Amino acid sequence: MKTIKIPYYTSSLELHVDEANLKAVVTAKMHQYKPPMGEAELVRDALAHPVGTPPLCELARGKKKITLVTSDHTRAVPSKLTLPILLAELRKGSPDAEITILIATGLHRPTTEEEQRRMFGDTIVDQERIVVNNAFKDEDFVKVCDLPSGAEFFCNREAVDCDLLLCEGVIEPHFFAGFSGGRKSILPGICNAATVNENHSYKAIADIHSTTGVLEGNPIHTDMICAARAVNTQFILNVALDGEKKVVAAWAGDLEGAHAAGVQFIREQSQCPSIEGDIVVTSNGGYPLDQNLYQSPKAVATAEACAGEDGVIIMCCSCCEGMGGTNFERLITLGSVDEIDAYLSKIPPKETISEQWCPQIYSRILKKHKVILVTTYLDHELVRRANMIPASSPDEALEIAYGIKGRDASVVVIPDGVSVLAVKG
């Protein structure tokens, strides 16, 4: 019997699989990657050798108003480490500049002060100007341009009305934007709801190029790049994290150049051929990404690549904060998966409902695969209404899956489905 730890909330759950059934345990090479220097040294080295731009302190010279975009409470950006280094570089170049830290929430709820203190540390919260993006507060946004898709791009004034705009973030595979990081800090990070919604329309999500690991021809990525360039994003700092959320690599500099360097590293460390199993077990990498069901399609989409034609997917996701959005909950419990997809497919891009993209992706997956959701926080009746099968532990879920696929079913385990880029063929 093989015991495998599955990330769950702030710890892990144990899965026990008979070795006769276990076909593979798939992990990103990055979890074993040994960086050449410590976390802070990696960040400082990236800033000292930016890709395609002068050093940040030089860019900051003469600037009066600087906006630094960072991620919200749903992302594992190591801001407690990176922000002090970035702020020091900015003030080295412009000691008297007014600096605003703008939290990119996209359509998520506001990041609380308690969460900010955990993410940034008390000193930054007490001493720096921090603004939390609110996509539903129209007066905070100004129209910048029309995007290639035809969507109107409205961006937070804090990013438009500044002399220097920079972003920090994490690069990892993303289930419809190709990869996270870089331009994604701007769109969806600091846009109004209408811009985000249209970028994530049914048509855009359904495009064959809107998938994990694909940037070329991806309409969602194309809009994101256009938006980030339109507001003159002059500098980024992006990092890669291992399974313990430790920095193992960092890139700084040009919006596209530094991001491309990071994407190349992530491909090398995360991409692997898909290994097909009758049952695929995965997780959303634990907290913060597993705090609600809305975030969970990221890993389920990875499992989909390994689940064959009708494989069963087991998703371990704490959902400690519930479903994750009122629209998401309403749409994913609207009816059968066919009824949900039919309803969403009729919504024009400019009438896109916030959060509809996750029910759309779940509907696509649930048409082919039974999904068993392991959660000890979410009401199991609500899970059933979302067209999934509830379980309280990985072992219970596995027994349910054996009941569907048979006792001799092969099992593929992807402990952290967010970090793996599984490629078919």
Catalytic residue list:
108, 174
CB atoms within 10 A of CB 61: 12
Q: Is 19 helix (H, G, I), strand (E, B) or coil?
A: coil
Is 224 within 8 Å of 231 (Cβ atoms)? no
Cα 388 from Cα 362, distance rounded (Å): 10
Among 123, 137, 138, 212, residue whose Cα is nearest residue 175 = 212
- Cα 57 from chain centroid? 29
What is the secondary structure of 102-137 as a DSSP string?
EEE-TTSPPPPHHHHHHHH-HHHHHHSEEEE--TT-
Is 292 within 8 Å of 321 (Cβ atoms)? yes
Amino acid sitting at position 188:
P
Among 262, 207, 257, 228, residue whose Cα is nearest residue 147 = 228
Cα 173 from Cα 99, distance rounded (Å): 31
Among 194, 177, 160, residue whose Cα is nearest residue 297 = 177
